[in-house]
């Protein structure tokens, strides 16, 4: 092959090969459970990356706040489900003697596209309300459409958050520790660091009560993917509390599903924070664990 032709062919394939290599490496990193400090970029293939300004014609919900585009949320009842979870956590915390008047600044850890965070907008008139997530596209949308009064920042899977010690009176994490396995205690220590003394944490998990709820036909529609997943791994899940402390299913996926033995979880977390309350089926079929950082 003539040298000029070889050079032309090389130049022609170099770009696609580089792109393919970047994609394969990025996919290997994303799927590896051995690597941390991962983030979901807005567009991993974009170079340069261009982030659009907030749209003035965006659709709004009944609360008057902007609604994210369909690719950033999956639930049809995005606003209603967020409001339902907000009301539930408010009731649970109030029963624990920690009503909204005591919350102070709030962090929604793993906020996604602010399905729950948006319902703190009234609280944000007098206090800082932050949301963090590894999904950079969701955070970019939230920053463009819900800030102010709400505040947002991206984070990674590495257990560190960009806040000072004792920053928040309330930290919530709805369906986040359901995806964290080996680093769950490390993340809990990080959340303790940024919670002020006397502050509370509201975290949801999947335990034996959640598994029982998945088997309840009155709670789960026939053929629901979570019920089907639990059935596929029944032999493992049935060992929780016997000879298994937790099970992490589909670990190579960012949405790995983690199920804990409740006794193990409460004993482990109780070494880090005071366990205030445990409520079954508080977050759909998930269990809510209310914790308190010792202090006044």
Q: What is the CA radius of gyration of the chain?
A: 22
Give CA–CA dist 196/170, Å, rounded.
Answer: 8
Report the range of poorest mean pLDDT among 26-35, 65-74, 112-121, 129-138: 26-35
In a domain, 170, yes or no: yes
In a domain, 236, yes or no: yes
In a domain, 136, yes or no: yes
Q: What is the mean pLDDT of residues 193-199?
A: 99
- In sequence order, the 6+-apart residues with CB closer than 8 A to the CB of 7 are none
In a domain, 28, yes or no: no
Give the pLDDT score at 56. 64
Q: What is the mean pLDDT of residues 187-198?
A: 99
In a domain, 7, yes or no: no
Report the range of poorest mean pLDDT among 24-28, 251-255, 289-293: 24-28
In a domain, 162, yes or no: yes
Give the pLDDT score at 30. 52
In a domain, 24, yes or no: no
* DSSP class of 218: T
Q: Which domain holds residue 95?
A: 70-292
Q: What is the mean pLDDT of residues 259-270?
A: 98
User: Based on the structure, what is the number of domains in the chain?
Assistant: 1
Give the pLDDT score at 13. 59
Give the pLDDT score at 10. 62
Omega of the bond leading into 149 within 30 degrees of 0 (cis): yes
* Cβ-based neighbour number of residue 232 at 10 Å: 11
User: Rounded to 10 degrees, what is the CA torsion of 71, 73, 76, 79?
Assistant: -130
Q: 173 burial class (0-12, 13-18, 19+ CB within 10 angstroms)?
A: buried
Q: What is the mean pLDDT of residues 85-108?
A: 98
In a domain, 36, yes or no: no
Decide: 168 and 105 in contact? Cβ < 8 Å.
yes
Q: What is the mean pLDDT of residues 183-200?
A: 98
Give CA–CA dist 41/120, Å, rounded.
Answer: 26
* Bridge partner list, 246: 260
Output the domain CATH number for residue 216: 3.40.50.150
């Amino acid at each position: 092959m003539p040298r000029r032709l070889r050079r032309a062919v090389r130049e022609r394939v170099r770009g696609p090969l580089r792109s393919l290599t970047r994609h394969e490496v990025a996919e290997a990193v994303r799927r590896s459970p051995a690597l941390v400090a991962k983030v979901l970029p807005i567009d991993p293939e974009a170079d340069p990356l261009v982030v659009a300004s907030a749209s003035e014609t965006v659709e709004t919900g009944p609360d008057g706040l902007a609604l994210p585009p369909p690719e950033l949320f999956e639930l049809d009842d995005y606003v209603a489900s967020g409001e339902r979870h907000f009301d539930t956590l408010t009731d649970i915390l109030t029963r624990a003697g920690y009503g909204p008047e005591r919350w102070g600044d709030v962090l929604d850890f793993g906020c996604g596209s602010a399905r729950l965070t948006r319902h703190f907008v009234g609280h944000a008139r007098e206090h800082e309300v932050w949301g963090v997530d590894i999904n950079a596209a969701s955070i970019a949308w939230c920053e463009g459409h819900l800030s102010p009064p709400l505040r947002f920042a991206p984070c990674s899977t590495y257990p560190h958050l960009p806040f000072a010690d004792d920053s928040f009176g309330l930290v919530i994490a709805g369906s986040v520790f359901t995806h964290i396995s080996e680093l769950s205690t490390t993340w809990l220590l990080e959340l303790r660091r940024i919670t002020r003394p006397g502050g509370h944490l509201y975290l949801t998990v999947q335990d034996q009560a959640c598994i029982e709820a998945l088997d309840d036909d009155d709670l789960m529609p026939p053929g629901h993917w979570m019920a089907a997943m639990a059935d596929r791994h029944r032999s493992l899940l049935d060992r929780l509390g016997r000879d298994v402390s937790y099970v992490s299913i589909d670990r190579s996926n960012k949405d790995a599903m983690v199920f804990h033995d409740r006794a193990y979880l409460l004993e482990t977390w109780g070494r880090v924070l005071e366990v205030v309350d445990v409520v079954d089926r508080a977050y759909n079929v998930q269990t809510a664990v209310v914790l308190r950082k010792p202090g006044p």
